[in-house]
């Protein structure tokens, strides 16, 4: 099949881009990148407190963003009003997605708090541990925002 013929028959759609709907995931991703950079350039031995602190700040900020999204528009979605969609229906903002996201953030926050001492006991690289934890949190958050088939 000719490629240009396929382009002519395809209907062009403008994507519905709304970055506010994925704000908790963006915040945790930026926190993970910051932890990675701090771990790469930190020379001190007490890096677990720095990377753990950045992780905690990022997770708390993402939790506040999640609560803000919940109060801004997803509360009406549970009352029968259609949920807000973005990225041409790939991401749906509803109360179930936000409740799962909040649970994942709280569990990750508790894991970071427990790991502050555990990383030292096991002699693990703290920056790598916290970075992997944050990126795993983003991965499970994006699993929670998949729309219905």
Q: What is the pTM (predicted TM-score) of this model? A: 0.80
Residue 17 near residue 95 (C-beta atoms within 8 A)? no
Cα separations (Å) of 96 from 62, 78, 100, 131?
A: 16, 8, 6, 26
Residue 69 near residue 24 (C-beta atoms within 8 A)? yes
Residue 84 CA to residue 139 CA, distance in Å, equals 21
Give me 18's structure tokens: 């709304």
What is the chain's pLDDT, residue by residue, as a tens digit (149 residues)?
555 555 555 566 666 777 888 899 999 999 999 999 988 888 766 777 888 899 999 999 999 999 998 888 754 444 444 567 777 777 778 888 888 899 999 999 999 999 888 877 877 787 888 899 999 999 888 776 665 55
93 dihedral zone (left: phi>0; alpha: psi -120 to 50; beta): beta
């Amino acid at each position: 099949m000719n490629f240009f013929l396929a382009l002519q028959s395809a209907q062009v759609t403008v994507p519905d881009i709304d970055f506010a709907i994925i704000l908790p995931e963006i915040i945790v991703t930026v926190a993970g990148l910051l932890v990675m950079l701090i771990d790469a350039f930190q020379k001190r031995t007490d890096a677990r407190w720095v990377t753990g602190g950045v992780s905690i700040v990022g997770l708390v900020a993402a939790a506040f963003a999640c609560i803000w999204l919940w109060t801004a528009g997803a509360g009406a979605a549970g009352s029968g009003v259609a949920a807000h969609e973005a990225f041409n229906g790939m991401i749906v903002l509803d109360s179930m997605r936000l409740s799962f996201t909040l649970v994942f953030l709280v569990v990750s926050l508790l894991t970071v708090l427990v790991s502050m001492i555990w990383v030292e006991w096991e002699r693990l690289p703290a920056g790598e541990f916290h970075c992997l934890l944050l990126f795993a949190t983003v991965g499970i958050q994006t699993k929670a925002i998949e729309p219905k088939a």
